[in-house]
Homo-oligomer: A and B are copies of this chain.
Amino acid sequence: MTRDLPTSLLMFIASRAASERIFRAVQEAGFTDLTLAQGRLMMGMEPDGSRLSTLADRGQIAKQTATALVDKLERAGYVERVPDPSDGRARLVRFTSRALAVLPIARAEEARIEAEWRAHLGAERMDQLRDALTALREVTDPHRPPHQA
């Protein structure tokens, strides 16, 4: 009876469920001022700080959007902007200690989800799933990872 859903929709369902769970975990840990979009941006940051354009590019959002998100994150004390020593125009967005307290929570929930999925599917199917999804990046990810020969 369950009609055949498009593959992309199946992905959407699962990935949204994961997002929601991580978001909830963070909320329940007391970080109630973080939004989903802000969290997503933070997950794309490098440990030593990232440029705004890099974040925008990586998240496939406009620079203005990234600016707005970083503004709010900064006001809430999760990130700070420091000058980029290698380029006077640029600034690096860096985690504050507050952010460093959130990240493990998000990562832990992420790991829990991954484990549950693996338990539900079995190791083999989970590996196949990851394999297929990874291969699909070659045709779906604008930040195509370097073709590993």
User: For this complex, into which size category does the number of interface residues on chain A fall?
Assistant: 35 or more
* Known contacts A13-B140, A14-B136, A137-B10; is-contact A1 B125 (Cβ 8 Å): no
Would you call B128 and A11 a contact (CB within 8 A)?
no
* Known contacts A114-B7, A121-B135, A129-B128; is-contact A148 B2 (Cβ 8 Å): yes
How many chain copies? Answer: 2
| Cα–Cα distance between A8 and B113 once the two chains are bound (Å) | 9
Interface members, chain A 7-37 (any B CB < 8 Å): 7-19
Interface residue SS majority, chain A: helix
Q: Which residues of A contact B (CB under 8 A)?
A: 1-2, 5-19, 60, 110, 113-114, 116-117, 120-121, 125-126, 128-141, 145-146, 148
